Amino acid sequence: MSLQFYEEYEKKRMEKNAWYVCNQVAERIDDAPVLKEYIKSKVSESPDELFFFNSVYLDNCRGASERNKAQVPGATYFRKIESFMKDHTSVELFMEFCRDVCRESREGRFQSLFLK
């Protein structure tokens, strides 16, 4: 076994063990009672299975200045996702999708227009 092969093998073994521990912790914590409620625990997906498979373009878009954002590939797509998240989520200590948040914010905007 060469040194390079051993290092690759060791890295894969450690990664496999880390995912195993994450799953074990998530199983133990999931539905545990805390302050008259229950905790919901999830393990992140592996980097190969993440939703944003185009993270290079996302990083480029987020790093671009406002002036140059329109020229970055995928800028319109990312802007649309960002506006959806803004309209349909609530962020306090954590992010959660809320029912009818977009309708409430739209109605609030219309009411403020009529009140002026």
Write down the mean pLDDT value for the chain. 79
SS3 content of the chain, % helix, strand, coil (to 5): 60, 10, 30
In this prediction, residue 12 carries a pLDDT of: 93
Q: How many C-beta atoms surround the C-beta of residue 61 within 10 A?
A: 20
Question: Which tokens go with 33?
Answer: 């009672």
Same domain, 108 and 79: yes
Same domain, 103 and 65: yes
User: CA-to-CA distance for 63 and 57, rounded, in angstroms?
Assistant: 10
- 87: containing domain: 52-116
Give the residues across from 91 on adjacent strands: 95
Same domain, 38 and 69: no
Asked which of 31-35, 49-53, 72-76, 108-112 is least confident by mean pLDDT, the reply is 108-112
Same domain, 64 and 111: yes
pLDDT band of residue 112 (cuts 50, 70, 90) is very low
Over residues 42-96, the pLDDT tens digits come to 888 887 777 767 778 888 888 888 888 888 888 888 888 888 888 777 777 777 7
- Cβ atoms of 95 and 101 closer than 8 Å: no
Q: Does residue 116 surpass a pLDDT of 50? A: no
Same domain, 61 and 95: yes
Proportion of the chain above pLDDT 90, given as a percent:
17
Q: What three-state secondary structure class fits 62? A: helix
H or E element that contains 40:
none
Same domain, 79 and 111: yes
Number of domains in the chain: 2
Among the three residues 9, 26, 43, which one is the final residue of a domain in this structure? 43
Same domain, 60 and 115: yes
User: CA-to-CA distance for 70 and 84, rounded, in angstroms?
Assistant: 18
